[in-house]
Structure 1
Amino acid sequence: MDIRAIKIFNHLAHSLHFGRTSRACNLSPSALTRTIQRIEEELGKPLFHRDNRKVSLTPAGVLFKRHAEELEQRWQLLLQELGDETTLHGEISLYCSVTAAISILPGILGAFRQGHPGVQIKLQTGDAAEALDRLNDLDAQVTIAALPEQLPESVIFIELAQTPLLFIAPQEGELPRMDGHGEIDWTRTPVILAEQGLSRIRIDRWFSEKNIHPSIYAEVAGNEALLAMVGLGCGVGVVPELVLEKSQLRDRVRVSPITPDLTPFIIGACTLKRHLANPVIQAFWSTVQQVNGNNEEG
């Protein structure tokens, strides 16, 4: 088996999802299946349990996973030792929201490219709520994400920014609807909610604490979709201030003076602790710390 097959196995061993791994590794489903079957044939043991609903590692798969992860790390170290000793080579995969790519990453990437021009950067953007899942599934080695309420033991985090959660309403129209006491009438005010993520957790908790049963108009994926729905007059919602400031839709909504008191987001860089054994990730992490330290001093 070759190192690419090892990398493919490692991704699947974390994602436990053939479709996700085939997309991340740019393989057809049949090619992914053949790669895993070749490894299993060489080892003489099945590595995955498969059925129509889930994928899991066999005992042999758990054992092989430990050795395969170590082999991939050793391969990265070997490439570095064989290369130019003064120049770092390799690649790094990053995942973040479009907002983070615009507002947070430029200074970090600029400094990293200047210090390590031999490293190839692969950047993916998407829903910020998926950032930690992308990290755990090995779709990305570093993500920019909001600090979860409980950080997994396997993840390390560097705080880069804080942003409050704002209650927004359409720029035009009569939303939110008010009751006779000057409070929002949540039974008559349609609400747009994120499908998942920290903002959803916090607004759900706020509604529960206030014993409010909101009129949910729609659940959407991502802050831009939420802003679009609110801007169209479909309802009210909650978004991070940083997202609103950078959005092209900001002129179509307004910040309501009557707003839930929600804990602000702490935005930062995340990676798995074991990734720091990789010289490229270690160098990127050092750059994040340096740039963040300079920003704090400024």
Structure 2
Amino acid sequence: MMSKNANFGWNDANNASIGMTIQQIEYFLQLSDELHYWRTSYKVNITQSVLSRQIKALEDELQLTLFKRSNRKVELTPAGKFLQQQWKPLIDELNAAALYARKIHEGAGGHIVINHPGSISYDILPDMLARVAAEFPEIKVELVQIRHSQETEMLKAFKIDICYSRHKHEDELLTSTLIRHDNLALMVPSAHPIVTAADISTASLQNERFILSTFTEGETFGMKMDEVFAAYNIDPAIRFESDFGSVIMSLVKKGLGISVIPYSYSLANFPGVRFIPLPFEVPLYLIWRKNEENEVIKNVLNILI
């Protein structure tokens, strides 16, 4: 979590004092945000004198000055700014870990957050949730859809627990398994002249406007899109991007363009659009944290894998 320009190494850490408390660090971070003793003391529900004593005790422990104080304002010293940058993400991680420990303590009656692409909403997701509900009726399941670029960090930060993804993330703290491959399809408005796979060609696609998912460099699904367009020898004119398949289907129905999307979206029976299967597939992975300690998540994984 150290900044790239920080010259703070393990020798410094070994020599640092460990007498400070998490409470003192949290008071420091609150004051470093507010830069006002009265507002900070009100926010953390202590008196100004207690806040001042805690900050002074922290400074004494660290043997440095964290704030410049005057009658009119409070400012961070350079050392204070450095510690603010370093400690804030660490405190956030500590709080996240504490919340996660609470989830572990809850056991079978706990709460689990599952991320998924919209394309599985109409086939395996309902079946999966039915199995979970049958086995563990007291578990609360929260379903979210996040960007592929956020999946790894949110798993490691305990903000999501299980992740269905089109991208196989490589990370030493995570593990994954391939669930299946899904066919892609060309999605067009119902009245569009492209009706069958035989109608799909460079000429028929060349002047079309496309509505696609938002891609990041190196993403599996985005690379597959490049493969599709290379096969038809076109450089697609992308007019709209969305991370939500339901939005893409609505825009295609409105005649604002056509799309390439997993064929499983056809199970939504969305009116006004037509799906034409393509000879291309995209993977679907299940990803979770290695050495998972949460019994709720381990129980659910045993159902899903």
Give the TM-score range, shorter chain: 0.5 to 0.7
Q: Which residue of 2 aligns with 1:272?
A: 289
Q: Which residue of 1 aligns with 2:80?
A: none
Q: Which residue of 2 aligns with 1:51?
A: none
Q: Percent identity?
A: 15
Q: Which residue of 1 aligns with 2:251?
A: 229
Alpha carbons of structure 1 residues 128 and 159: separation in structure 2 relative to 1, 3 Å: farther
Instruction: Give the AA of the match of 2:162.
Output: V
1:1-298 equivalences under 5 Å are: 58-60=85-87, 75-77=102-104, 79=105, 88-121=108-141, 123-126=142-145, 129=148, 132=151, 134-136=154-156, 138-148=158-168, 150-174=169-193, 183-196=202-215, 198-207=220-229, 212-246=234-268, 248-249=269-270, 251-256=271-276, 259=278, 261-262=279-280, 264-274=281-291, 276-289=292-305
Q: Which residue of 2 aligns with 1:294?
A: none
CA distance in 1 between counterparts of 2:235 and 2:117 reads 30
Alpha carbons of structure 1 residues 228 and 219: separation in structure 2 relative to 1, 3 Å: same
CA distance in 2 between counterparts of 1:109 and 1:256 reads 29
Residues 129 and 198, structure 1, Cα contact 8 Å, conserved in 2:
no
1:173-199 deviations in Å (ceiling 9; x for gaps): 3459xxxx9643544222222222643
CA distance in 2 between counterparts of 1:113 and 1:172 reads 41
2:235 aligned counterpart, secondary structure: coil
Instruction: Give the AA of the match of 1:151.
Output: E
2:203 aligned counterpart, secondary structure: coil
Kindly name which structure, 1 or 2, has the bigger radius of gyration based on alpha carbons: 2
Displacement of 1:241 in angstroms is 0.9
Residues 175 and 288, structure 2, Cα contact 8 Å, conserved in 1:
yes
Alpha carbons of structure 1 residues 118 and 190: separation in structure 2 relative to 1, 3 Å: closer
Alpha carbons of structure 1 residues 151 and 114: separation in structure 2 relative to 1, 3 Å: same
Instruction: Give the AA of the match of 1:221.
Output: D
Alpha carbons of structure 1 residues 193 and 76: separation in structure 2 relative to 1, 3 Å: closer
Unaligned runs of 5+ in 1: 10-29, 47-55, 81-86, 290-298
CA distance in 1 between counterparts of 2:294 and 2:261 reads 35
CA distance in 2 between counterparts of 1:185 and 1:214 reads 12
Displacement of 1:269 in angstroms is 2.7
User: TM-score, with normalisation over the residues of structure 1?
Assistant: 0.59
1:153 aligned counterpart, secondary structure: coil
CA distance in 1 between counterparts of 2:222 and 2:188 reads 17
User: TM-score, with normalisation over the residues of structure 2?
Assistant: 0.58
Displacement of 1:164 in angstroms is 0.7
1:110 aligned counterpart, secondary structure: helix
Alpha carbons of structure 1 residues 135 and 145: separation in structure 2 relative to 1, 3 Å: same
RMSD: 4.4
Paired residues in the alignment total: 233
